[in-house]
């Protein structure tokens, strides 16, 4: 079955997920996370992708990025995956693919979904019951985005900038948003769009053939009966 073409638009954000093969761990110790983040900053600059948010879970990665051209995100993820896989294979004395396959991505063209993706990405450890608050998780961009700690490559999305007139108001507003869980329909839409490579918030197309009305079902018969008279 042919691959579905990935929906990518230059200068439009994407939520990206890459999972380890069979959902096995892809990070084993602190140096693995640090190495991945160093590579993320390096390759994001090289392939002109702006990183707005990230979360490195034990067996998968979430990113919210904006590529400046249509090939940027694919190149970023290709080099990240290859570098990290090579490093982990060498450390673990293993061979083969570390990753499940190609990454999944959904287009984030609306400001409301951009902020929702920030929260979806950085609240992952809370939903997984790893921490009680996103500030407690070391391997996400939450503390960088609320300016609790400096960061070298995380940059705000325009929708994040619109949360307040200055940095203090923006970070306070974002903290307040992250103190509440995302609504389940929003989570479902982010996951659906990312899994299927769609634009978030687009209306869903009905599955299967459209239903025919009774008039349509009987239309051919009426036409035939009139013809035979």
Q: Is residue 2 in some structural domain? A: no
> What percent of the chain has a predicted confidence (pLDDT) above 90?
77
Q: How many domains does the chain have?
A: 1
At 224, the pLDDT band (50, 70, 90 cuts) reads very low
In a domain, 7, yes or no: no
Comparison of pLDDT for 117 and 221, the residue scoring more? 117
For 134-152, what is each residue's pLDDT tens digit? 999 999 999 999 987 878 8
* Tally of CB atoms within 10 A around 29: 8
pLDDT, mean of residues 54-59? 98
Q: ∠ CA 151-152-153 to the nearest 5 degrees?
A: 105
Cα distances from 35 to residues 11, 27, 32, 107, 142, in angstroms, run: 27, 10, 5, 27, 19
Residue 6: which pLDDT band, with cuts at 50, 70 and 90? confident
Position 3 in a domain: no
pLDDT at 182 over 80: yes
Q: Choose among 19, 20, 17: nearest CA to 94.
A: 20
User: Is 4 inside any structural domain?
Assistant: no
Half-sphere exposure of 40 (CA within 13 A, CB side): 26
Query: Is the residue at 8 inside a domain?
Result: no
61-99 confidence digits (pLDDT tens): 999 999 999 999 999 999 999 999 999 999 999 888 899
Order the strands of the 104-108 sheet from edge to edge. Answer: 49-56, 60-67, 13-19, 104-108
Per-residue pLDDT at 206 exceeds 60: no
Helix (H, G, I), strand (E, B) or coil at 50: strand
* Pick from 78, 73, 71, 88: nearest CA to 32: 88
Q: Using pLDDT thresholds of 50, 70 and 90, give the confidence band for residue 104.
A: very high
The reported pLDDT for the residue numbered 226 is 43
Q: Say how far apart CA 51 and CA 29 lie, in whole Å.
A: 23
CATH at 119: 3.30.70.1290
Whether residue 1 is contained in a domain is answered as no
116-132 per-position pLDDT tens digit: 999 999 999 999 999 99
User: What is the reported pLDDT for 210?
Assistant: 55
Per residue, the 3-state secondary structure of 26-49, as one string, reads CCCCHHHHHHHHHHHHHHHHHCCE
Domain that includes residue 52, residue range:
13-228
- Residue 51 in any domain: the answer is yes
Q: Is residue 77 a part of any domain in this protein?
A: yes
């Amino acid at each position: 079955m042919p691959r579905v073409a990935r929906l990518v638009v230059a200068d439009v954000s994407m939520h990206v997920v890459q999972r380890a093969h069979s959902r096995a761990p892809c990070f084993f110790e602190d140096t693995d996370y640090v190495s991945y983040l160093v590579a993320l900053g390096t390759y994001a600059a090289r392939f002109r992708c702006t990183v707005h948010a990230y979360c490195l879970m034990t067996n998968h990665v979430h990113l919210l990025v904006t590529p400046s051209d249509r090939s940027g995100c694919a190149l970023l993820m290709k080099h990240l995956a290859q570098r990290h896989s090579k490093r982990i294979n060498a450390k673990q004395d293993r061979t083969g693919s570390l990753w499940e396959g190609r990454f999944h991505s959904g287009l984030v063209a609306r400001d409301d979904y951009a902020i929702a993706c920030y929260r979806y990405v950085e609240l992952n450890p809370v939903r997984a019951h790893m921490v009680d608050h996103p500030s407690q998780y070391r391997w996400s961009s939450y503390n960088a985005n609320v300016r609790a700690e400096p960061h070298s490559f995380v940059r705000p999305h325009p929708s994040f900038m619109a949360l307040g007139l200055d940095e203090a108001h923006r970070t306070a507003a974002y903290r307040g948003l992250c103190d509440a869980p995302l609504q389940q329909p929003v989570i479902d839409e982010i996951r659906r769009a990312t899994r299927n490579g769609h634009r978030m918030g687009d209306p869903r197309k009905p599955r299967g053939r459209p239903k025919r009305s009774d008039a349509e079902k009987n239309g051919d018969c009426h036409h035939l009966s009139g013809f035979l008279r």
